[in-house]
Amino acid sequence: MSTPTPNSAEARDVMFHLHSQTNAQAHAANGPLIMERGEGIHVFDSQGKRYVEAMAGLWCTSLGFSEARLKRAAAEAYDKFGFYHTFNHKTPAATIDLAEKLVALSPIPQAQAYFATSGSEATETMVKLAWVYHTVRGKPGKRKIISRDRGFHGSTIVAASMCGMPRMHREFGLPLPGFLHTLCPDAYHGMQPGEDEAAFVIRLAATLEELILREGADTIAAFIAEPINAGGGIIVPPAGYFPAIEAVLRRHDILVLGDEVVCGFGRTGEMWGSQTVGMQPDMVALAKGISSSYFPISAVILGKPIQDALAEMNKGGEIFGHGFTNSGHPVGVAVALETIRIYEEMDVVPHVRAMGARLRAGLDALAAQSRIVGQVRGAGLMIGVELVAEPASRTAFDPALKIGARFDAEALRNGLVIRAMGDTIGLCPPLIIDAAGVDEILDLFGRTLASVEAGLA
Ligand code: PLP
């Protein structure tokens, strides 16, 4: 990336295109990185340079970038019709098949599936369903939502309010009133001197309960969490975290909402991230891996108590006043069904465990050689490598050094796409990756780490 030449695609991009999650000044100065096409776990830019896409795009293309079966599934769905909807009792036939499939796979017993198109729509839908649930049970005052520092739940106004990141709130006057935040279960930085993980978990649960009591349990509807925080820096909660906080939440009649947008569909080495971390949600939001992001589709899986509340609400003839034009879109549904069929055929869970173990072992070996790796953490094929100034004392780098951003730039030069979250380097490659692909990531990661480290000498 360099200063765009006038009238080039780069210059037109700077002029006409507002990018998501991008610094406009840096973009104007350096221009975009234009990606042209993909092949398996690789993508190629407009100059023909090849990259290992070790972030699966945005934690999403689990089947890589060129799965022909998904293209065919979409084409066959388009042969039937380009669109149909799910309002007023109507539905495309395939949408029923996907609902049944998701319920069969679901971590929630006796569930139903509701469809939307983005992760944000799915997390917001869970909030509305939580409000319905409490209102119907005679507790309309239970409205507030608790989420966690460093969590990510989307970009629409309620979803952004639930995020625990300053950049999602700052200029927008968010969070909305009634959206509360509690501690992130980051044991690496969050434990106090003398505290072990078990004591840390007890403190996290106690802090949550203090918040609930301060606000009034009769004002709180739900708690939302990713099983493993993705965008917040790949934070794996300490053992026993979810059982401990869920005991608090159940005591106060607060629903547990699981955000499986990144963790779902095998990413963490179980079909659901909630299984990996021992979480028992009342509803979950799914997106990304549901269709390998080849079509925008998301879903909410809702348990029986929520369905009963909806039935109660509608018994006077009212309708469920919620829905998106593209909910249950037949093309998205066909792509999702084929994606899930491929996960089943490749036996995705053991494959992710094997490839994740290989990636983890290689990163641990690189960490052992490095003087700036503080921690390698994660589950399955979702791994974070935190770079710190002094591993022994867990002392972070001065933010002005922008170590994560340096690593990102150097990785791109080396042909590796990673995600720098502060100074934590995220890896979340397509789940189809094989041993050679893992080794290629390790080689490029090792070279990048060595040159970033050398630059600090
Ligand atoms: N939840 C999580 C955990 C995510 O990582 C994201 C997006 O990255 C979302 C929700 C929002 O999804 P979308 O961007 O499709 O609205």
In tens, the pLDDT along 400-457 reads 999 999 999 999 999 999 999 999 999 999 999 999 999 999 999 999 999 999 999 7
Q: How far is the CA of 55 from the centre of ligand 1 (A)?
A: 14
Atom of ligand 1 nearest to the CA of 263: 3
Could you tell me the two tokens for 233? 């820096």
Ligand 1, pocket residues at CB < 6 Å = 58, 118-120, 123, 152-155, 226, 230-231, 259, 261-262, 287
Q: Tell whether pTM > 0.95.
A: yes
Instruction: Name the region of 200 (left: φ>0; alpha: ψ -120 to 50; beta: rest).
Output: alpha
138 with 312: CB under 8 angstroms?
no
421 with 404: CB under 8 angstroms?
yes
Residue nearest atom 7 of ligand 1, based on CA coordinates? 154
Of 115, 147, 152, 260, the one to substitute when testing ligand 1's pocket (max ligand atoms within 8 A of C-beta) is 152
Per-residue exposure over 289-310, b if at least 16 CB sit within 10 Å of its own CB, e if not: bbbbbbbbbbbbbbbeebeebb
Q: How far is the CA of 259 from the centre of ligand 1 (A)?
A: 9
| DSSP label of 298 | E
The position carrying tokens 């972070």 is 396
Separation between Cα atoms, residue 213 and residue 177, nearest integer Å? 17
The position carrying tokens 């003839």 is 317
Q: How far is the CA of 230 from the centre of ligand 1 (A)?
A: 9
Name which of 311, 304, 308 is nearest 282 in CA terms: 304
Q: How far is the CA of 9 from the centre of ligand 1 (A)?
A: 28
What secondary structure does DSSP assign to 164-200, as a single string?
Answer: --GGGTGGGT-SPTTEEEE----HHHHPPTT--HHHH
The position carrying tokens 């094929």 is 381
Name which of 446, 456, 412, 419 is nearest 47 in CA terms: 412
Atom of ligand 1 nearest to the CA of 155: 16
Separation between Cα atoms, residue 238 and residue 187, nearest integer Å? 7
Separation between Cα atoms, residue 57 and residue 81, nearest integer Å? 29
Does the model's ipTM exceed the 0.90 cut?
yes
Instruction: Name the region of 288 (left: φ>0; alpha: ψ -120 to 50; beta: rest).
Output: left
| 3-state secondary structure (DSSP) of residue 408 | helix
Amino acid at 285: A
Predicted confidence at residue 6, as pLDDT, reads 82
Separation between Cα atoms, residue 70 and residue 348, nearest integer Å? 17
Q: Low-confidence residues of the chain, pLDDT below 70?
A: 1
Of 120, 165, 168, 428, the one to substitute when testing ligand 1's pocket (max ligand atoms within 8 A of C-beta) is 120
Q: How far is the CA of 383 from the centre of ligand 1 (A)?
A: 18
The position carrying tokens 């959206």 is 179
Predicted confidence at residue 317, as pLDDT, reads 87
Q: How far is the CA of 102 from the centre of ligand 1 (A)?
A: 19
| DSSP label of 393 | G
Residue nearest atom 13 of ligand 1, based on CA coordinates? 119
Could you tell me the two tokens for 287? 């997106």
List, in order, residues 6 or more apart from 226 with CB less than 8 Å away. 151, 152, 153, 232, 258, 259, 260, 261, 262, 263, 273
Q: Give φ, ψ of 343 to 5 degrees.
A: -55, -45
Separation between Cα atoms, residue 139 and residue 433, nearest integer Å? 48
Calculate ∠ Cα 399-401-404, nearest 5°. 80
Q: How far is the CA of 61 from the centre of ligand 1 (A)?
A: 13
**Order of strands, edge to edge, in the sheet holding 42-45?**
35-39, 42-45, 50-53, 416-417
Atom of ligand 1 nearest to the CA of 117: 15
Atom of ligand 1 nearest to the CA of 260: 3
Separation between Cα atoms, residue 367 and residue 410, nearest integer Å? 18
Atom of ligand 1 nearest to the CA of 118: 15
Q: How far is the CA of 99 from the centre of ligand 1 (A)?
A: 21
Separation between Cα atoms, residue 401 and residue 380, nearest integer Å? 30
Q: How far is the CA of 340 from the centre of ligand 1 (A)?
A: 19
Could you tell me the two tokens for 152? 């990510």
Predicted confidence at residue 1, as pLDDT, reads 65
The position carrying tokens 């695609």 is 9
SS3 content of the chain, % helix, strand, coil (to 5): 45, 15, 40
Q: How far is the CA of 287 from the centre of ligand 1 (A)?
A: 8
Atom of ligand 1 nearest to the CA of 226: 3
